[in-house]
Amino acid sequence: MLGKDWSDGFLDYHRDDKQVRVTVSAWLSVGPVTDVYYRQPRTFRTVWNYIRAHGIRVVAQKILSRMRESLRDRRVFAVGLGTVCESDPESSWPTGTPVAFVAPIAPPCVERLVLPVEFVRRVDDGLVERTASSEGIRWTEGGQDHLWDDELVAWDAFSGRPVPKEALDRVFPQSLEFWRSVMPARGRVLPLPAATPIEERLAKAQRADERLTGVVFGLGNLAKATLIPCVRQHVRIVCAHEIEPTQLGKTDRLRWSADTSPVIRDDEDYDVYFIAGYHHTHADLAAEALRKGAWVVCEKPLVTTERELAVLLAAVREHPGRLFACFQMRYGPLWSYARSDMRLRPGDPVNYQCIVFESPVPRHHWYNWPNSRSRLVSNGTHWLDHFLFMNDFADVTDARVWRFRNEDLSVTVELANGAAMNMLITQHGSPRIGIQEHVELRANDVTVRVDNSSRYSAEGPDRFLRRKRSRRLVSHETMYRTICRRMVAGKTGDSLRSIEMSCRLLLDLEAQLPS
């Protein structure tokens, strides 16, 4: 990897049967790829705003987590030359094949990378030999803007976008011309005296104790700053699966085993699987973990397609009570006050209105992938589930969604118990502290208002009943700790009905949106 200088100690990218692993000989960083990750302004006022909303401890954890992602955040569009060092035994790309490659959304440089076969082309041996250096990787950047292609720069194998074959056909001939005529007079050599062994997995011994063993799939900011600190009292994290090596960090700094595979390996066996990766991977991972007889703690959304729902429900039916869905609003302390103040009895309808502001998603962020579906799936699922939760998962009788010209989403839902929901999701407004929400519940002549999951008020026919304040992220902390206590005690997870109702409503609404 290339930070300010060459740096060893990272795992290799995972390779599946349809991909090849290439040892890099020459590398051209055509240009940086921006708008990939959320980036907050690094100002005192921004930090102060978040401290007021979340508290010093939470903000300090987030800042530390983000600082450790500085190398991951450096993405480039690159072309290069190299040699196939690993492929499927039946592949037409045998080991030793000299190739040119196109590397979308890559680190500044790598010793080896993994690419779909469409992103490599055979070249003659002499081209690689003339360009390569025995001392390391020949590297240069910039000055070849004609190689930039908007269809290619942020393409990802997990995105669900088709391979941009026409764009590749345009870029490959131009890149070969660069390697033949320009590169020999340019660049510098990044010293790499000896090749490091290919390692997708790192095993680290840990002292066993009475806690459950756990694995995390997806080592993002949520997992690092919130999930892991909240569960470690009851669950000993022994492994982290993360497809991006720069997100994992250097292996000598890891406290647990690590793996860049996006799937569960045959020889893996843990008590608890925490799933917090790309949304479209949740259901299959959860189903596989359930079939192993493990506990599963799965972030939202649980599913993004009908196929995933069928797979997940089949696994839950076979292994009931082992799945916990991470809808943190179910665990917020303010909603317990709401049930009390509205004097709810079983079956009472709770009408629900909410306005949700989402921070605008960066252009190349994975939330914009076809596989991630719409913003309704990415975030709206929280409030849809909470509406059902407050109404004891009554049957849905009608559900509709509209997308306005400004991309706002308006959702209406009616339930068999007479409850109605109106939700507006927008990206227009102040991004001062990220996502913001205003929720109103109405039942039995009482109105409950909750802003940003932290400010609560309940109003009766002639007076205020209660006002309360809470930290914004307390519901996340309460959720993980409650789930862990339930697993340790051997209590059941979420019901099949709650899982099916929540997922079904989400997918029915998603199907109404034009693609």
pLDDT in tens, 16-44: 999 999 999 999 999 999 999 867 666 76
- The pLDDT assigned to 514 comes to 87
> Which residues are registered as beta bridge partners of 458?
448, 466
Whole-number pLDDT of residue 297:
98
The rounded distance, in Å, linking the Cα atoms of 473 and 59 is 11
- Residue among 175, 499, 108 at smallest CA distance from 310: 499
Task: From residue 229, give the alpha-carbon distance in Å to each of 73, 96, 327, 380.
Answer: 23, 45, 18, 26
Helix 44-54 × helix 56-67 angle, to 10°: 130
**What pLDDT, on a 0 to 100 scale, did the predictor assign at position 51?**
63
User: Residue 272 corresponds to which tokens in the numbers above?
Assistant: 């608890």
Rounded to whole angstroms, how far apart are CA atoms 496 and 313? Answer: 7
pLDDT at 187: 75
Range 329-471+502-512 has CATH code 3.90.850.10: no
State the Rg of the chain over Cα.
Answer: 25
Q: Show the low-confidence residues of the chain (pLDDT under 50).
A: none
| Domain segments of the chain as ranges | 19-37+72-191, 201-328, 329-471+502-512
Q: How far apart are CA 142 and CA 128, in angstroms?
A: 20
Residue carrying structure tokens 């062994």: 197
19-37+72-191, CATH topology level: Quinone Oxidoreductase; Chain A, domain 1 (3.90.180)
Residue 129, pLDDT score = 85
Residue with tokens 């049957």: 395
201-328 classified as CATH 3.40.190.10? no
pTM score of the predicted model? 0.93
Instruction: Please give the helix or strand (H or E) that residue 44 lies within, else none.
Output: helix 44-54
